[in-house]
Amino acid sequence: MDRRLCSHASEPVLDICLTMTGLQILEIQILRVNEVLDLLGLASPSVSEIGSDITLLFQNDLYWPSAAEHNGTILISKPLTNTQAVASCKQLNELLLPTEGVHFSSDIKSLMNFLALKTTSPLQKFWVASSPAHRCAAVSLAGGIQSVSCESELSAFCSQSAPYTRNIATDPSTQFQVQVQSKKLTVTGTRDALSFRFLGIPYADPFEQFTYSKVFSSSASISALNYGSPCTQGSYGTDDCLFLNIYTPFLPQNSQKTTNLKPVLFWIHGGGFTSGEGSDGIYDGGTMVSRGDVVVVSINYRLGTQGFLALNDGVTNGNFGIADQITALQWVHEHIADFGGDPNQVTIHGQSAGAGSVRALLAAKPAFGLFQGAIAQSSLGGFGYATAYSEYLSIEDEYTSFGKPVVEAVGCGNSTDVLACLRSVPSSTLFNAPNAPRYIVVDGKYITTDHLEVNGCGPAAPAHVMFGWMRDDGTDFVGSFPTQSSTLTTQLEGAGLSANLTEVVVNSPLFPLPNGSDALDNLFNLTSRVGTDGQFRCIDEATLIAAAKHRVFPSVWAYQFDRSYAGYEPIPGTCEPPATAEFPNGDPSLPYYRCHSGELYYMFGTMGQDLKPFRDWNDLIMSQVSVDIWTSFARTFNPTPAAEYLTARGYTNTTAFLQTKHAGDWQPVTPTNKQPLRIMDVPFSLSAWQEEEQCDLLGYPFNLYG
């Protein structure tokens, strides 16, 4: 274990310098619980059979080496006698919560403080496991562990012996499974240490290729224990791929009567509209669920030719992938309450092409009312590769440049029924056809304008929005690393700039060449800056400025991530800090490019797991703070977590981090806010809009959208 992490530990519940004795005690407790339950041979229950709302609680500090030493619990909220509570826990294949865990006292205090913040009183008692000193034991904030009458009717804390399993096929045994009834669906999921998990749920009816999906409408018993197939991409995936995954902390007995539904974060993966899947390990929702009190949904949607082909036949109008996202949102609106989520408090969020999807959904009338918040992470727009992610093609332009070449390449150019011919071609052939379509088009139903209108004159969803980007987002989209024969002109033209704009940039003092000792890196550094401005920063700043000026959205927020971890790295060695003897996984204090996708491990809280270790203490802090910001936005549409929430949860690291003199008070974007941009680094800070003159030079001024 890295002793530098130990020496900086400050969060009371983040006791990361633990003895093996404590771990052994907890392992023995879990073993004994599992032995008892194996003897009982119990089957998976439904929420209705338990007769109560159930909530999975875990004090998640995101430090995975010690995660197994923290006791999770399942709260049965219905008041029961001790005998009834034991029986209800038994239905979950659990016992009443043992109280001897290494972190029991601190964890249970934080969890009860959290419950008291929302629905209970500090005086409320909860059943826990009996002991020699307490025949029928309960715990409360006010009185700690105490003896009570066995006939008292109290809510119960059950043990939670499910292990941590991150985005793998779920254990097929029934021990941790649970059923949810939602309208005509009976869905069997499971739980791990962090959340209830329902994986691979079909959200659309079977469909014919190149038709628009519709919400799943059949009566069905669904085994949601394994992820569904990714959509066709490259050499794998299938067309039967419209699945979603739900991670939730709360299962209501009656979703129509409960007042405790959770905000929903609806994740749309990136991948250039040609790759990606909702089941990617980075996107596991358990951490956000357990730390942030939200429900997380992730989805697949059709990609490439299958998702974006448009023909000039008046029927095949493209945007099938965008329509799939709306279908998934409609499914969520119909069903998510039965999984503990609030259908009237949904925040869509996505990164890269997922952010492009968020941008498109903000302009898509059929999606209006299906979400109330939107987070776009590294939304592309500007020159070269980025253009089509914010400026949408006409169907005719898409067909001429992309659709028609595919039709001809797969041998359907002379067919009397082009669509029927295409449907007879193997999916992989269609997907891998040269220059295949992957672009949003103005189809007339889903997308009706050639860009998101933020001047008040076009369709825009009434949602709270937050846009942000990586400090060096363009690094991955400016071509290859320079060689000895490279010049600034050849590098910029290779990045997608026109010859005229390249000449303007080369001759402008606004983009001076750095004067470091490595001439080739100087060239790449400048090209990266131009790419970041011209493909990410300028368009997003202009979008937010216009949206705030014209009051298009209820609130507007902006951030820039200045710290990166395991970002997209097509040029090896550019996006990771150099390793040193003291920092074998890279020293983040040394120069490196903060690349595209470099925020994902932080804001999903999945850093430190598998082969992605923490590089230093600040990686852990940044991850805690990032998860708290994203889930705060989902809960309140304000990215700054409420002080009372942080206090109740015991998240003192985040509290301290946000209270440093450098952090400042993050306020929404308004025409009068002089520092609207949250710089996310260690430490946090605030900034004015960046690169205004450079954006003007590149042709993407701050008043681009009015």
DSSP line for 550-565: TT-SS-EEEEEE---S
Pair 320, 327: CB distance under 8 Å: no
pLDDT in tens, 454-478: 999 999 999 999 999 999 999 989 9
Burial of 263 (0-12, 13-18, 19+ CB in 10 A): buried
Residue 19 CB neighbour total at 10 angstroms: 10
Residue 222's φ and ψ, nearest 5 degrees, are -110, 125
Q: Which of 141, 57, 127, 51 is nearest to 95 (CA)?
A: 127
For residue 124, how many C-alpha atoms fall within 13 Å in the half-sphere facing its CB?
Answer: 23
- The closest alpha carbon to 528, from 539, 540, 514, 541, belongs to 514
Q: Rounded to whole angstroms, what are the CA distances from 398 to 316, 392, 497?
A: 12, 9, 21
**What is the rounded distance in angstroms from the CA atom of residue 87 to the CA atom of residue 81?**
10
Amino acid at 132: P
Alpha helices in 309-438 (DSSP H): 320-335, 353-361, 395-398, 404-409, 418-423, 427-431
The whole-angstrom distance between residue 438's C-alpha and the CA centroid of its chain comes to 22
What span, in angstroms and rounded, lies between the C-alpha atoms of 348 and 373?
Answer: 6
**Which pair of structure tokens corresponds to residue 642?**
């409420």
Distance, CA of 355 to CA of 338 (rounded, Å): 28
44 near 179, Cβ under 8 Å? Answer: yes
Amino acid at 474: G
Q: Are 479 and 385 within 8 A, CB to CB?
A: no
pLDDT < 50 regions, the chain: 1-42
What φ, ψ does residue 173 adopt, rounded to 5°? -65, 160
Joined together, the tokens standing for residue 389 give 């992610």
Task: Report d(CA 227, CA 245) in Å as an integer.
Answer: 8
Return d(Cα 455, Cα 548) in angstroms, integer.
9
Using the 8-state DSSP alphabet, how is residue 19 labeled?
-
Task: Please state, in angstroms and rounded to a whole number, the distance separating the CA atoms of residues 603 and 626.
Answer: 5
445-449 LR contacts (CB < 8 Å, sep 24+): 445/317, 445/366, 446/319, 446/322, 446/323, 446/326, 446/360, 446/364, 446/365, 446/366, 446/367, 447/319, 447/322, 447/360, 447/363, 447/364, 447/392, 448/363, 448/365, 449/363, 449/392
pLDDT of residue 12: 36
User: For position 3, what pLDDT does the model report?
Assistant: 31
State the Cα–Cα distance between residues 594 and 674, nearest whole angstrom: 25
Contact (Cβ atoms closer than 8 angstroms) between residue 170 and residue 224: no
Residue type for position 696: D
- Crossing angle of helices 353-361 and 320-335, in 10° steps, is 70
Could you count the other beta carbons within 10 Å of the beta carbon of residue 133?
A: 9
How many secondary structure helices (H) and strands (E) does the chain include? 22, 22
588 contacts 563 by C-beta, under 8 angstroms: yes
Evaluate whether 303 touches 233 at the Cβ level (below 8 Å): yes
Which of 696, 383, 699, 686 is closest to 532 using CA atoms?
A: 383
Distance CA 224, CA 216 (A): 15
Task: Please give the Cα distance from 319 to 266 (Å, whole number).
Answer: 19
Average model confidence (pLDDT) across the chain: 91
Structure tokens given for 434: 């040269």
- pLDDT at residue number 611: 64
Q: List b or e across 437-465, with b for residues whose CB sees 16 or more CB atoms inside 10 angstroms.
A: bbbbbbbeebbeebbbbbeeeeebbebbb
Q: Nearest to residue 78, comparing CAs of 57, 50, 56?
A: 50
- CA-to-CA distance for 561 and 14, rounded, in angstroms? 25
What is the CB neighbour count within 10 angstroms for residue 519?
Answer: 14
CA–CA separation, 79 and 155 (whole Å): 5
SS3 198: strand
Return the bridge partners of 682, or none: none
- Residue 47 and residue 246: Cα distance in Å, rounded? 16
pLDDT in tens, 159-210: 999 987 766 656 666 889 999 999 999 999 999 999 999 999 999 999 999 9
Global pTM reads 0.93
Largest CA distance in the chain: 85
**pLDDT at residue 89 in the model:** 97
| Cis status of the peptide bond prior to 163, with omega within 30 of 0 | no
Cis peptide before 683 (omega within 30 of 0): yes
pLDDT at residue number 573: 85
How many whole angstroms from its chain centre is CA 336? 17
